[in-house]
Structure 1
Amino acid sequence: MKCYKCGNTLGSGRHCLHCGADVAIYRKIVRTSNSYYNRALAKAKIRDLSGALEDLNQSLQFNKSNIDARNLLGLVYYEMGEVVEALSQWVISKNLQPENNRADEYLTEVQGNKAELENMNKAIKNFNLSLDYAKHDSVDLAIIQLRSVISQHPKMIKAYQLLALLYIKEQEYSKAGKVLKRALAHDKGNIFCLNYAKEIRGKISRRNKQATYAEQQMAQQAADEVIIPKYSEKPKVLQLMLGLILGIAICVSAYVFMISPTQQQKTNARWNQTAVSYNEKLGAKDETISTLNTRVSDLESEVETMKKDVETYTGEDGSLTNYERLLTAMKQYAEEDWTNMAVTYATINPDVVDASAFRDCYALLKNFVENNGLADRLFEAAKALVDQGKYNEAIPALEACLAEKNDYEDAIYYMAYCYEAIGNDAEAAVYFKRIVDEFPQSQWYAQASSRVN
């Protein structure tokens, strides 16, 4: 464990051996954070992702620099289909610990698989589209889109939840149960899925009780309508034959004159109704195909928009890129790496990020740069190199200093001095002449004038 104040390794005592800071409470905070992380890791191993997510957030509340917890949080988000959240956690982790960080591997693997990333983007767009369909009572279209989302991105828990809700609304409890079973296979502790499953079991139980009661009522009614025939003697053979012949004749006549025409009419009516039904279904199919073709065009347009949105986050001038540049500049500021900080600061575009934390950090650097703090630090670093005789190394620092403040008198003279020291008299003369022309009251005027003349 390292000291929060000086960064050195702590001993077993209450105070830091290097800076003397009281670290007793700090130890408790770090241990509490690690305890929540260990609980989350155990839950993640048994695929209780929701429980792990809750514990990891608690862990980071106690210690935002817990790299293991932040990396695991990214993995949990990724397993739940929350790709943007996962990438954000890994980028923050990488900036907190640039070296020996597994977040590098995760980012490289995800960003390197362009096909999978494209599928995830499509799935997110389709999910938003299905959510819009559901809000406008287009349940069938929403179900079709959600099936597509799950096939493109099987880990997206939100898609399973919404599809199950739509099935429950349509009273298709068996299908809803299957969807929730698949979701719980990914995330065993998901509270929403468990509550939906409980609701489904209750509705199926009530439906079975109602069906059983209806069957009992029908059986009772059938029993009440049974007629018990009375006993009669057997007829004689001749009477039986005559009755049989007469009955056949009556049946044939009834069939020819009454039943057959009626059946023919019913058959024709059924065929006509079937033809109308098929025509209606074909018309509905054509309309659905036309609608889907329109949606395909819309989705292609939305995919292009999504690509542009992703570019605004991860592109050369995206918000995540500027976050990374700002964190790098802050790290260089803390390490007093002034030359590299000047280069990094110049690449930051503050207009693409609205977050207050980003603006506060950038304002700190901006105030430091604009009040000559950076120029002064660069000159001091260059002067130290000149005092050591490292003229070639001092020149870049002096150039960076003049880039921040072009009329920095001492830096101009030292630049001329360095070029003269390494034998580049032509470049040295340029800077000596600037002292003579621009700073006649300078303490370096006499030395510069003698070199020019």
Structure 2
Amino acid sequence: MNCPRCNAKITFTKTQCFNCGQDLSGYRKIISISNSCYNKGLEQAKIRDLSGAISSLRKSLEFNKRNTDARNLLGLIYFEVGEIVSALSEWVISKHFQGENNDADRYIGMIQSNPNRLEMYSQTIKKYNAALFSAQHGDGDMAVIQLKKVVNLNPKFIRANQLLALLYMMTGKKDNKVRAKKLLVNVSKVDVTNTITIRYLKELSDVHIKGETVEKAAPAAVRKEPEARKIVPPAEIPDAYKTITPYKEEKPSVLPFINVIVGVVIGMALMGFLIIPHIQAKKSDKDNQDFKNYSEQMAENDSDVSMLRNENKNLTEELEELKKQNEELKGKGSEGGATFQESYDFLVEAVQYYLDNDKVNAAKSLEKVNEEAISAEKTKALYTKIKEDTYEEASNSFFLKGRDAYNGEGEYAGNKDYDKAITFLERSLKYNQDNADAMYFLGRCYQQKSEPEKAKEYYNTILENYSDSSRVSEAQKRLRELGE
């Protein structure tokens, strides 16, 4: 380990630094706690308790921010659950603390080496944010469409899966609840202890997915077979044996023939008055129903055609947007600015200079970043913080160079260079537009170059906008020299 005061290499068993005499007993205890939390997080990650692992690794970094093993593992877990921006942030910080022999280089290179994968991650973040905005403003259908695309691009993006499941649950439909449970079951395999996933699954405990084993109901009581009916013996039937009537041939009669003819006539009459109208009515109903079904089918086809046209229009617009974004990533950034990947590289370079306490070079690198290409909130916050901490010092640095060039001092000793001074002083104002000293010397440069109008412009700006500046009296004096 390294001494916290002088950064000298010392063995872990030492209780005092041999270089500066620093007591290391408390520091050793802090390092031990950090390592214990890292080991706990590693064990939790092995059994896919990713939520618990994130908590343990964060605690490890609270005790020792230079624990690059813990930081790299935390980045890997963020990457596994779909939090790409958080993962990259951890790896960049790890790379700063350990510049050589660091696995973070390989992880960052893995993402940067594949432009298609980088584009996919960018689209995932944008679509998730758009879906979240739609859901917050009551447009659940649009949110579901966007989240389906997000889940297709990155099936392990836990937050997207949870939000899509929640939107399905809010519809109250059984089919959507089944879809929600399938999503939650899948992400529960990624992070087995995620409390949100567990709570949603508890809400869907009454929903069963096809293939799940369902507890069988208790078997119904066996129905008792009815007793066989007793057959009464012939002897017990009254008059069981009757006298057989002898055969007697009947005389032929025309009555049966007449009855048949009458029956046929009555049958035909019934068919004419009752059956045939019923058949015709039934056929008419069938024809009407067929026509109704045909009309509904035509209306449905028209609706489908209209829907397909709208969907084709939306897909065309989305394709144009993707082409535009693809051109920006290939090198045409928005309005001529840096591309997403170039801006990311410049930002990483600025972070490296900033952590090395080289604020001037950090500001120069940060100036090349295209702010419009930055979409993630954490990345924007990092950009803003470094800008606030470096721009003022960079402005002062360029002011001093401009003043030396004006006075012929420093590296310009004996050789006044007003044009070079103007270049430096304008750079100073670019980093800090309120630098009254830079404005004053710009006025002096233009006065020396016999350009009084430009000189007056800078002097008047000091008098009008910076009345509390120490340069006010000098600006007034120079204006009097110029005849104002």
For structure 1, which segment, 95-104 or 250-259, has the greater mean C-alpha deviation from structure 2 after superposition?
A: 250-259
Work out the CA distance in 1 between the residues paired with 2:295 and 2:154: 40
Work out the CA distance in 2 between the residues paired with 1:134 and 1:345: 39
What SS does the aligned partner of 1:121 have?
Answer: helix
Work out the CA distance in 1 between the residues paired with 2:363 and 2:132: 42
**Does the 8 A contact of 1:134 with 1:142 survive in 2?**
yes
Q: Is 1:327 the equivalent of 2:352?
A: yes
Structure 1 match to 2:189:
185
Q: State the shift of 1:64 in Å.
A: 1.9
Work out the CA distance in 2 between the residues paired with 1:269 and 1:191: 57
Q: Is 1:270 the equivalent of 2:289?
A: yes
- Higher RCO (CA 8 Å, separation ≥ 6 residues): 1
Work out the CA distance in 2 between the residues paired with 1:122 and 1:135: 20
Structure 2 match to 1:149:
150
What SS does the aligned partner of 2:184 have?
Answer: helix
Structure (1 or 2) with the larger CA radius of gyration: 2
Residue identity opposite 2:306 in structure 1 = E
**Does the 8 A contact of 1:326 with 1:345 survive in 2?**
no
Matches within 5 A, 1:94-173: 94-135=95-136, 139-170=140-171, 171=173, 172=175, 173=177
Q: Is 1:43 the equivalent of 2:44?
A: yes
Matches within 5 A, 1:404-423: 407-408=409-410
Matches within 5 A, 1:262-301: 262-301=281-320
Structure 1 match to 2:8:
8
- Per-residue CA deviation, residues 167-218 of structure 1 (Å, 9 max, x unaligned), is 222323222211111111222222211111110014679xxxxxxxxxxxxx
- Per-residue CA deviation, residues 203-254 of structure 1 (Å, 9 max, x unaligned), is 679xxxxxxxxxxxxxxxxxxxxxxxxxxxxxxxx9xx99xx8998899668
Work out the CA distance in 1 between the residues paired with 2:139 and 2:354: 50
Work out the CA distance in 1 between the residues paired with 2:128 and 2:411: 62
Residue identity opposite 1:73 in structure 2 = L
TM-align CA RMSD: 4.2
**Does the 8 A contact of 2:147 with 2:164 survive in 1?**
yes
Residue identity opposite 1:51 in structure 2 = G
Residue identity opposite 2:350 in structure 1 = R
Report the TM-score when normalising by structure 1.
Answer: 0.63
What SS does the aligned partner of 1:260 have?
Answer: helix
Residue identity opposite 1:184 in structure 2 = S
Which of the numbers 349, 359, 362 marks the counterpart of 2:367? 349
**Does the 8 A contact of 1:95 with 1:324 survive in 2?**
no
Task: Report the CA distance shift for 1:82/1:54 in structure 2 as closer, same or farther (over 3 A).
Answer: same
Work out the CA distance in 2 between the residues paired with 1:371 and 1:128: 42
Report the TM-score when normalising by structure 2.
Answer: 0.59
What SS does the aligned partner of 1:73 have?
Answer: helix
For structure 1, which segment, 38-47 or 97-106, has the greater mean C-alpha deviation from structure 2 after superposition?
A: 38-47
**Does the 8 A contact of 1:163 with 1:176 survive in 2?**
yes
- Per-residue CA deviation, residues 57-96 of structure 1 (Å, 9 max, x unaligned), is 2222222222112111211111111222222221222122
More helix by share: 1
**Does the 8 A contact of 2:363 with 2:390 survive in 1?**
no
Matches within 5 A, 1:312-323: 314-316=340-342, 318=343, 321-323=346-348
Task: Report the CA distance shift for 1:129/1:277 in structure 2 as closer, same or farther (over 3 A).
Answer: farther
What SS does the aligned partner of 1:21 have?
Answer: coil
- Per-residue CA deviation, residues 399-452 of structure 1 (Å, 9 max, x unaligned), is xxx999972269899xxxxxxxxxxxxxxxxxxxxxxxxxxxxxxxxxxxxxxx
Task: Report the CA distance shift for 1:370/1:32 in structure 2 as closer, same or farther (over 3 A).
Answer: farther
For structure 1, which segment, 194-203 or 133-142, has the greater mean C-alpha deviation from structure 2 after superposition?
A: 133-142
Q: State the shift of 1:274 in Å.
A: 1.7
**Does the 8 A contact of 2:338 with 2:368 survive in 1?**
no
What SS does the aligned partner of 2:356 have?
Answer: helix
For structure 1, which segment, 82-91 or 128-137, has the greater mean C-alpha deviation from structure 2 after superposition?
A: 128-137
Which of the numbers 336, 358, 371 marks the counterpart of 2:386? 358
What SS does the aligned partner of 1:100 have?
Answer: coil
Q: State the shift of 1:116 in Å.
A: 1.9
- Per-residue CA deviation, residues 115-154 of structure 1 (Å, 9 max, x unaligned), is 2222223333333344455455554554344333222222
Matches within 5 A, 1:377-416: 407-408=409-410
Task: Report the CA distance shift for 1:201/1:66 in structure 2 as closer, same or farther (over 3 A).
Answer: same
Q: State the shift of 1:110 in Å.
A: 0.7
Matches within 5 A, 1:28-67: 28-67=29-68
Q: Is 1:83 the equivalent of 2:54?
A: no
What SS does the aligned partner of 1:14 have?
Answer: coil
What SS does the aligned partner of 2:66 have?
Answer: coil
Matches within 5 A, 1:422-441: none
Work out the CA distance in 2 between the residues paired with 1:58 and 1:274: 67
Work out the CA distance in 1 between the residues paired with 2:285 and 2:137: 41
Structure 2 match to 1:419:
none
**Does the 8 A contact of 1:95 with 1:328 survive in 2?**
no
For structure 1, which segment, 190-199 or 124-133, has the greater mean C-alpha deviation from structure 2 after superposition?
A: 124-133
**Does the 8 A contact of 2:3 with 2:10 survive in 1?**
yes
What SS does the aligned partner of 2:205 have?
Answer: helix
Q: State the shift of 1:106 in Å.
A: 0.7
**Does the 8 A contact of 1:322 with 1:349 survive in 2?**
no
Q: 4+ runs of 1 displaced by more than 6 Å?
A: 245-251, 341-345, 402-406, 409-413
Residue identity opposite 1:324 in structure 2 = E
Residue identity opposite 1:94 in structure 2 = K
Work out the CA distance in 2 between the residues paired with 1:345 and 1:404: 24
Work out the CA distance in 1 between the residues paired with 2:273 and 2:55: 79
Structure 1 match to 2:238:
none
**Does the 8 A contact of 1:14 with 1:24 survive in 2?**
yes
